[in-house]
């Protein structure tokens, strides 16, 4: 992550810099990080002058730097909230919601932060795929009704699937399961109807055999008399 790269570079520079210059050193580190960040947008397709193009490139790199810092911060907040929740659970207290609301968080924010941190704990080798997820993506991925194959595509394979697409896939999966359930019910009803029909036929056959047996008995007695 960006924080790791900055820290590594900072350790190298700080060994050679006086303590009083630490702020300037950190400022240089941030500038170095921004200047060397990878561009995501293809600016060659923009029909603008070079001055505006360079200004946009600088803005993108600065925003990218802030994004990286926010991701690192969100992980730290997720860890802190997870630890706090554990304390409330161990203390058998139900005041966790009241506690985080007093800090300005809402349920959706806390769920996203805690669940993203949990994903990182569960899949540490897939950190690169997890840290870039939005809060909405995290909430959709960790929804209990979201099928496992969607989670695998996003977390393990690194596919970029929007929150709306995840929701559609989940609803489609639920609809399919309902249809299968209804088909199973229909098949079960057919089997039950068939079993009832067989039972009825068997009872009719047994009744006929019983009548035949009753008719045979008198005739058998007559033959023995003769």
SS3 per-residue string spanning 72-137? HHHHHHHHHHHHHHHHHHHCCCCCHHHHHHHCCCCHHHHHHHHHHHHHHHHCHHHHHHHHCCCHHH
pLDDT tens, residue order, the chain (226 aa): 545 555 554 555 445 555 455 555 445 555 555 556 677 788 888 888 889 888 998 888 888 878 778 888 889 999 999 999 999 999 888 899 999 999 999 999 999 999 999 999 999 999 999 998 999 999 999 999 899 999 999 999 999 999 999 999 888 877 655 544 555 555 555 556 667 777 777 777 777 777 767 766 665 555 555 5
3-state helix, strand, coil in the chain (%, to 5): 80, 0, 20
Q: Going by C-beta distance under 8 Å and a sequence separation of 6 or more, which residues neighbour residue 32?
A: 9
Is 73 part of any domain? yes
Within a domain: 30: no
**Is 99 in contact with 88 (CB distance < 8 Å)?**
yes
Candidates 106, 37, 105, 116; CA nearest to 76 is 116
**pLDDT for the residue 13:** 45
Task: List the domain range (segments joined by +) for residue 73.
Answer: 37-125
The verdict on residue 99 lying in a domain is yes
Residue 22 lies in a domain: no
d(CA 214, CA 217): 6
- What is the chain's Cα-based Rg? 35
What lies within 8 Å, CB to CB, of 34 at 6+ separation is 58, 61, 62, 64, 65
For residue 128, give Cα distances in angstroms to 1, 6, 77, 133: 8, 17, 18, 10
Residue 41 lies in a domain: yes
Residue 68 domain flag = yes
Number of structural domains found in the chain: 1
Taken as a whole, the chain contains a residue count of: 226
The answer to whether position 60 is within a domain reads yes
Tell me the pTM: 0.57
In the prediction, which pLDDT does 139 show? 95
CA dist list (Å): 18 to 7, 14, 32, 184: 17, 7, 19, 75
Distance CA 215, CA 226 (A): 18
> Is position 197 within any domain?
no
């Amino acid at each position: 992550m960006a924080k790791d790269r900055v820290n590594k570079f900072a350790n190298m520079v700080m060994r050679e810099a006086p303590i009083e210059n630490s702020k300037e050193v950190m400022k240089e580190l941030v500038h170095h990080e921004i200047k060397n960040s990878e561009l995501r947008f293809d600016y060659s397709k923009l029909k603008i002058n070079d001055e505006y193009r360079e200004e946009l490139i600088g803005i993108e790199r600065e925003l990218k730097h802030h994004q990286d810092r926010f991701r690192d911060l969100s992980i730290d907040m997720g860890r802190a909230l997870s630890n706090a929740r554990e304390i409330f659970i161990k203390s058998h207290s139900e005041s966790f919601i009241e506690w985080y609301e007093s800090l300005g968080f809402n349920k959706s924010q806390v769920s996203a932060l805690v669940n993203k941190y949990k994903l990182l704990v569960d899949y540490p080798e897939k950190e690169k795929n997890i840290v870039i997820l939005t809060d909405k993506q995290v909430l959709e991925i960790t929804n209990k009704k979201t099928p496992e194959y969607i989670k695998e595509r996003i977390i393990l394979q690194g596919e970029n699937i929007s929150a709306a697409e995840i929701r559609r896939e989940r609803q489609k999966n639920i609809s399919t399961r309902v249809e299968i359930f209804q088909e199973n019910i229909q098949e079960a009803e057919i089997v039950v109807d068939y079993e009832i029909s067989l039972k009825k036929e068997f009872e009719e056959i047994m009744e006929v055999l019983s009548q035949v047996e009753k008719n045979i008995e008198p005739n058998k007695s007559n033959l023995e008399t003769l």
